[in-house]
Amino acid sequence: MNRLILIKYGELTTKKGNRNFFIKTLTKNIEHKLSNFDVKIKKDLSRMCIYFNDCDLKKIIDTIKDIFGIHAYHVAYITNTNIDDIASTVLELLKEKKFKTFKIETKRGDKSFPLSSPEVSKKLGGHILKNIPNINVDVHNPEVLVKVEITATETYIYLDSYKGSGGYPVGTQPRALLMLSGGIDSPVAGYLAMKRGIKLDCVYFKAIPHTSMQAREKVIDLTKKLVKYTDSINLHIVNFTPIQEEIYKTSDPNYVITIMRRMMYRIATKIMENNSYLCLINGESVGQVASQTLTSMNVINNVTNKVVIRPVACLDKIEIMDIARKIDTYETSILPYEDCCTIFVPKHPVINPSLKLSIEYENSFDYDKLIEEAINNMEVIKITNNYNKFDI
């Protein structure tokens, strides 16, 4: 029996005017991810069909389960749109299974087919009952549910449904910039942003020699984990050390984190303007640390006029950690290399910073010049699905 993978779009189908664009983007993303396989893709407005070589099935499923914009997928058997062929395929399929109750559900996309959907289900049900002994139809709680989808050219029959990643295809929104630290929260924030269709690039602030090269490697590793959900990510690595050292020299120790964060936002804003990124994304979570009280967030956010999205703002740490485990970033994130925000943390970081005082402290050094230098000396690494260390 011939098989194919049937993809259902889910939430995309609510996007009436944009449906074509969403499906086109999803197709492009699937084609890109499956470029190493011998597949043929056919799509219409309600489903996508992937015809494949049987030996690749497991690997293909492993790939498509992480593609956003797929609501569900099925491994379906294909027959001609002809009631006798459909009946013999359904029978062949069910003969291989052990069960006591079943139900057939038919969807007739091709209205010229001579039988209605309930008539097809009834006819197929009768055929099964006649040929397999000791089984019954149970329309409420069947052990085996057989789905039959009839189109003009071919009919798809499947028993199993798998949940896809949901969301929108990456690329249905423009590019945005993720502030990626080596922690647990920001990779999760990036994953959730991509799930809404946002195309990501990242910025990481390194503070060598205060932080190690391993901290930088860790962020590269996290980017490699995130690139699984997209085609490529440009990772901007900014040397934050000179700015950080000036902040320590000139600010009240309790304000250093507030001012560091304002400098990070300023640099990120410049990178956004230079690359036309439409939004800034980060892993801030309300109340998690002193710099993430609503007062702190206001004082920090004050340096940018860009849209800032904080996908994990309202999640508990436990919920964030659960997602991190699911997307396989957790084990990398908990590696013990320090980040520039975690070294020299003051004993009592201010939780209700004053905007006026923050401005006074930072005006005591020429941060514009240091920011310009940091941007001019920034390293950009393009991470793709085939990236390896020696590409740097």
Report the residue number, 60 or 340, with the smaller CB distance to ligand ATP: 340
Start-to-end CA distance of the chain, whole Å, equals 47
Chain position carrying tokens 């013999």: 88
Q: Does 179 bind ligand ATP (CB under 6 A)?
A: yes
Report the residue number, 154 or 185, with the smaller CB distance to Mg ion: 185
Report the residue number, 26 or 184, with the smaller CB distance to ligand ATP: 184
Q: Which of the listed partners (Mg ion, ligand ATP, none) does 341 bind, with a CB threshold of 5 to 8 Å by partner kind?
A: ligand ATP
Q: Which of the listed partners (ligand ATP, Mg ion, none) does 267 bind, with a CB threshold of 5 to 8 Å by partner kind?
A: none
The contacts of residue 109 (CB under 8 Å, 6+ apart) are: 46, 149, 150, 151, 152
Buried b (16+ CB within 10 A) or exposed e, 9-38: bbebeeeeeeeeebbebbbebbeebbeeee
**Under a CB-based contact definition with an 8 Å cutoff, are residues 324 and 187 in contact?**
yes
Q: Does 204 bind ligand ATP (CB under 6 A)?
A: yes
Q: d(Cα 169, Cα 230) in Å, to the nearest integer?
A: 9
319-323, Cβ contacts within 8 angstroms, sequence gap of 24 or more: 320/184, 320/185, 320/188, 320/283, 320/285, 321/184, 323/188, 323/191, 323/192
Q: Does 339 bind ligand ATP (CB under 6 A)?
A: yes
Report the residue number, 67 or 184, with the smaller CB distance to ligand ATP: 184
Q: Does 340 bind ligand ATP (CB under 6 A)?
A: yes
Residue selected from 186, 223, 244, 251 as contacting ligand ATP according to rule CB under 6 A: 186
**Minimum distance between the CB of residue 262 and ligand ATP, rounded to whole angstroms?**
12
**Minimum distance between the CB of residue 213 and Mg ion, rounded to whole angstroms?**
22
Q: Does 283 bind ligand ATP (CB under 6 A)?
A: yes
Report the residue number, 164 or 190, with the smaller CB distance to ligand ATP: 190
Angle subtended by helix axes 57-64 and 19-33, to nearest 10: 130
Stretch that binds ligand ATP, among 57-65, 107-115, 145-153, 334-342 (CB under 6 A): 334-342
Taking CB under 5 A as the rule, which mask of x and - marks residues 166-185 in contact with Mg ion? -------------------x
Size of the site for Mg ion (CB under 5 A): 1
**Minimum distance between the CB of residue 249 and ligand ATP, rounded to whole angstroms?**
20
Report the residue number, 181 or 230, with the smaller CB distance to Mg ion: 181
**Minimum distance between the CB of residue 203 and ligand ATP, rounded to whole angstroms?**
6
Q: Does 351 bind ligand ATP (CB under 6 A)?
A: no
Question: Number of C-alpha atoms within 13 angstroms, CB side, residue 385?
Answer: 11
Stretch that binds ligand ATP, among 63-71, 88-96, 117-125, 200-208 (CB under 6 A): 200-208
Stretch that binds ligand ATP, among 75-83, 102-110, 197-205, 297-305 (CB under 6 A): 197-205
Residue selected from 34, 48, 150, 185 as contacting ligand ATP according to rule CB under 6 A: 185
Report the residue number, 149 or 185, with the smaller CB distance to Mg ion: 185
Q: Which of the listed partners (Mg ion, ligand ATP, none) does 180 bind, with a CB threshold of 5 to 8 Å by partner kind?
A: ligand ATP
**Minimum distance between the CB of residue 367 and Mg ion, rounded to whole angstroms?**
24
Tell me which residues touch ligand ATP (CB under 6 A).
179-181, 183-186, 203-205, 282-284, 289, 339-342
Tell me which residues touch Mg ion (CB under 5 A).
185
